Structure 1
Amino acid sequence: MKKLSLYACLLKLSLLVLLPYSKANQADKLDELILSRSSKNPPLTLSWAEEEALKTHSSAYVAPQEGLSQADKILTLPGQPYGVNFDQYSGYVTVDPVAGRELFYYFVESPYNPSTKPLVLWLNGGPGCSSLGYGAFEELGPFRINSDGKTLYLNKYAWNEVANVLFLESPAGVGFSYSNTTSDYEKAGDKSTAKDSYVFLINWLERFPQYKTHDFYITGESYAGHYVPQLAYTILVNNKFSHQSINLKGIAIGNAWIDDATGSKGIFDYLWTHALNSDQTHELIEKYCDFTSETISEICSNATTRALVEKGKIDFYNIYAPRCHDPSLKNGSTGSVYDFDPCSDYYGEAYFNRPEVQLALHAKPTNWTHCSELLDWNDSPTTILPVIKYLIDSNIGLWIYSGDTDARVPVTSSRYAINTLKLPIQVPWRPWYSGNEVGGYVVKYKGITFVTVRGAGHVVPSWQPARALTMIVSFLYGSLPPASPWNGF
């Protein structure tokens, strides 16, 4: 029987889910990565990760940072609304002076006693997508961009309501981050990204030393299911040997690509359980598809292709949401945090390419895009589960959350990945509440808390900002989300 690569099958998936007028987003970049990686790429091992972390410690670059935080302070952003009551900063941190590699950050302090609040790092995925364009200005940051591409409005459910939030554009070549050595763009990968992000952090904490003792958390979504655990592991190993200890308390990853086999199976099971394809097609997938294999049969390939055709032209990243039909800029239209605009990517690209915006952000003049073309992602392991096991044993907080209307990295994929760990349940599955409504569902395992967010797609805070804030408050306080209705966020 003819055999086809599993990744060739997923190529059909990526071609079928691209939307009219859409540019590549972080889920599309995930498709591209899966397609490009070698089927012989071995899974991540802890010995590999520890060796890399030890190399990072021995070669980590730390530069004097005195006075640079004030130089990075943003006076005001173009189009910023009235009533801004928090400090914000942005600029570059050098991670390799020889190569001229600089990572760009955007940092917003909490308006309420920032000296007592935790420090939260946010990473977007891809790989190759911007935490500034997505996380900061479409999801959990203090501002959203109006449809005129020129002005901003406040997000009342921003995470800096409860924390000091740091957004990092990583690796070099993403957003405003850059390298003077062009070959850096051709050899990016999980290893170099973890190393550079660690070097960024230890230098950033020298620039903002008042945050060295704060509780530190790492959060992110999509391919940050790789970034976040690997960075956490790098920090923990380096903490054993370095005097520059980072006070890591926990990580939270949303709609996170963790494991290829369970992730792929979860996609097609989600389609069927959400009435997006037929019983007959699903039966063929169940019978003939082995997603743990490097190759799949022609019957399986045809069945998975049919499943994707049967779902029709919907938004694969939020199956119940409208698509972007008119990406043009619109003057005089004010956005609402309660009604996420599916054309927001276009407004962001217009805003961040305005010269006055780049000047205010202390950014180099750049042709800015949400997602960058990193030519060859060299070392993406097929599973990140070994690192997650290590983090569980290290007793840091570990949350996996999932917007339940995302079909690209669906809730089923997250559940299947967690189930492979065979962890005992400490608190059984139950609903949790945001305000007076069910915000989702939660189950606490020994070592992992799994949370669903009801009505949210791939980018959870975009579609359900209030529920996302309720969830992250619980995560930061080390408690489960509320078990009954309340009048909070």
Structure 2
Amino acid sequence: MMALLAENGPCHVQSDLSTKTNPYSWNGHANVIWLDQPTGVGYSYGPTVDYDSGELNVAENIYWFLQEFLKKHPDLADREFFVTGESYGGHYVPAAASHILKANMLRHLSPNAVHVNLAGIAVGNGLTDPAVQYQHSVDMAFNSYNVSLLDDQAIEDMRKAQPVCHELIMQCQQDRPRCVDAMEFCFGALEGPYYQSGRNPYDIREPCTEENVMKCFHFEHIDEYLNTPTVLTKLGVDVHKSKSWRECDATVGAGFAFDEMLSSAEDVKLLLDAGVRVLIYAGDADLMCNWVGNQAWVMALDWSGKTEFNNAPSRPFVTSEATDSGRVRSFENLAFIRVFNSGHMVPMDQPVVSFEMINKFFQNKDF
């Protein structure tokens, strides 16, 4: 919902709770579903025992949602289908797409299942392979914006912490109880120091001294908008059952404590080797899921086109306005784009660039 109302949706909510048309909405050349998930977030309700606790739960629920949606809209069933997401979508998106791919292969076992015409996935500033990405946390101390974030001692301490973090994450892949230890150590040692810099960790170009970094963007008006009686009535929300809509739900988030440090890279490998198109992009002013770490895990991915992709040149990503907007590396069905002058939320910071980028991806055109 945050993406819908502040990033790539057809209408953006303003601070006075009015709405403004977004000329760069991603539904300009595609039909788009903005899905508020996992279970327990937004207006959804039910016993907490039914809340999702990992990407496998999420993937299954997304698949069955799509089954019901396509049965109600059979005219859309043959259209190319893409799964996109941001941030923790680095887990959700590959998992959901992988589940769809496997379910399509086994559809003969479920004669009533609808084939989902999976064509591609796109993830922006995602957390996909923490073991690789956390090894590049300190790299943002040396950023292209010349923003001072850490002193020499902090940099040295972070470098010493990197192998410890890596070992804990690798243990987590085989021993789930270790995942919480990995999350707490890596977050504290490799993200925590940046919080003392007085900068927005989602966009280092901006100052932020909020104790809760989620408040650096001041999206309170979206919470307010989604809880106004008029909006609730228009959406058919049962206010006697649903909670108030809120940007983040701590109860739901806690359920993913054992999931965050798991890798979703194998899902991406499976998709690539099956011919599914993959776009990974990252705004280069983001600390939380920085572009260096995203580039690193993509290049470490052991898929059939690894050598050719890694040997491909990193070339300018130029928009139709002849603006040098980033750097792109691509080979066959994989592309990685570093987006200049953008933080964690590329469609919000660079709407024109993201609009052209996603449309080229949907249409399978060269970047």
TM range (shorter): 0.7 to 0.9
1:351 counterpart (205, 218, 225) = 225
**Corresponding residue of 1:137:** 5
Distance, in Å, in 2 between the alignment partners of 1:389 and 1:197 is 20
**Corresponding residue of 2:61:** 196
1:341-372 deviation per Cα after TM superposition (whole angstroms, max 9, x unaligned) = 96551110110000110111222224111122
**Corresponding residue of 2:154:** 281
SS in 1 for 2:316: strand
| 1:361 has 2:235 as partner | yes
**Is the CA contact (8 Å cut-off) linking 1:324 and 1:343 kept in structure 2?**
no
**Corresponding residue of 1:175:** 42
Distance, in Å, in 2 between the alignment partners of 1:355 and 1:383 is 41
| 1:436 has 2:313 as partner | no
Distance, in Å, in 2 between the alignment partners of 1:159 and 1:306 is 34
Structure 1 residue runs of 5 or longer lacking an equivalent are: 1-131, 326-340, 482-489
**Corresponding residue of 1:233:** 98
| 1:165 has 2:35 as partner | no
Distance, in Å, in 2 between the alignment partners of 1:282 and 1:224 is 29
- How has the CA–CA distance of structure 1 residues 301 and 317 changed in structure 2, closer, same or farther, with 3 Å as cutoff? closer
Residue identity matched to 1:191: L
Distance, in Å, in 1 between the alignment partners of 2:153 and 2:224 is 45
SS in 1 for 2:356: helix
5 Å-filtered alignment, 1:39-118, equals: none
**Is the CA contact (8 Å cut-off) linking 2:12 and 2:19 kept in structure 1?**
yes
**Corresponding residue of 1:398:** 278
Q: CA deviation at 1:140?
A: 0.2
Residue identity matched to 1:263: Q
With the length of structure 2 as denominator, give the TM-score of the two structures: 0.82
**Corresponding residue of 1:415:** 295
SS in 1 for 2:83: strand
Distance, in Å, in 2 between the alignment partners of 1:163 and 1:216 is 10
Per mean C-alpha deviation after superposition, the further-off stretch among 246-255 and 422-431 is 422-431
- How has the CA–CA distance of structure 1 residues 293 and 250 changed in structure 2, closer, same or farther, with 3 Å as cutoff? same
Distance, in Å, in 2 between the alignment partners of 1:190 and 1:301 is 20
**Corresponding residue of 1:376:** 255
**Is the CA contact (8 Å cut-off) linking 2:121 and 2:278 kept in structure 1?**
yes
Distance, in Å, in 1 between the alignment partners of 2:67 and 2:315 is 39
**Corresponding residue of 1:59:** none
| 1:218 has 2:92 as partner | no
Q: CA deviation at 1:306?
A: 8.2
**Corresponding residue of 2:359:** 473
**Corresponding residue of 2:175:** none
Residue identity matched to 2:228: R
SS in 2 for 1:432: strand
Q: Identical aligned pairs, as a percentage?
A: 29
1:310-341 deviation per Cα after TM superposition (whole angstroms, max 9, x unaligned) = x511110011035599xxxxxxxxxxxxxxx9
SS in 2 for 1:360: helix
Residue identity matched to 1:159: W
Per mean C-alpha deviation after superposition, the further-off stretch among 274-283 and 262-271 is 274-283
Q: CA deviation at 1:302?
A: 9.2
1:241-277 deviation per Cα after TM superposition (whole angstroms, max 9, x unaligned) = 2251100000001101011222222222212445422
1:23-79 deviation per Cα after TM superposition (whole angstroms, max 9, x unaligned) = xxxxxxxxxxxxxxxxxxxxxxxxxxxxxxxxxxxxxxxxxxxxxxxxxxxxxxxxx
**Is the CA contact (8 Å cut-off) linking 2:342 and 2:349 kept in structure 1?**
yes
Give the structure with higher Rg (CA).
Answer: 1
**Corresponding residue of 1:128:** none
1:314 counterpart (199, 203, 207) = 199
- How has the CA–CA distance of structure 1 residues 289 and 324 changed in structure 2, closer, same or farther, with 3 Å as cutoff? closer
Q: CA deviation at 1:287?
A: 4.6
**Corresponding residue of 1:155:** 22
- How has the CA–CA distance of structure 1 residues 315 and 305 changed in structure 2, closer, same or farther, with 3 Å as cutoff? closer
2:129 counterpart (253, 256, 259) = 259
SS in 2 for 1:401: strand
With the length of structure 1 as denominator, give the TM-score of the two structures: 0.62
| 1:425 has 2:308 as partner | yes
- How has the CA–CA distance of structure 1 residues 314 and 322 changed in structure 2, closer, same or farther, with 3 Å as cutoff? closer
**Is the CA contact (8 Å cut-off) linking 1:398 and 1:448 kept in structure 2?**
yes
- Alignment: residue pair count: 328
- How has the CA–CA distance of structure 1 residues 378 and 184 changed in structure 2, closer, same or farther, with 3 Å as cutoff? farther
* Structure holding more helix per residue: 2
Q: CA deviation at 1:456?
A: 1.2
Q: CA deviation at 1:158?
A: 0.6
Q: CA deviation at 1:278?
A: 3.0
Distance, in Å, in 2 between the alignment partners of 1:304 and 1:194 is 29
**Is the CA contact (8 Å cut-off) linking 2:81 and 2:119 kept in structure 1?**
yes
Distance, in Å, in 2 between the alignment partners of 1:135 and 1:182 is 25
Structure 2 residue runs of 5 or longer lacking an equivalent are: 169-180
Residue identity matched to 2:158: I
**Is the CA contact (8 Å cut-off) linking 1:404 and 1:411 kept in structure 2?**
yes
**Is the CA contact (8 Å cut-off) linking 2:284 and 2:291 kept in structure 1?**
yes
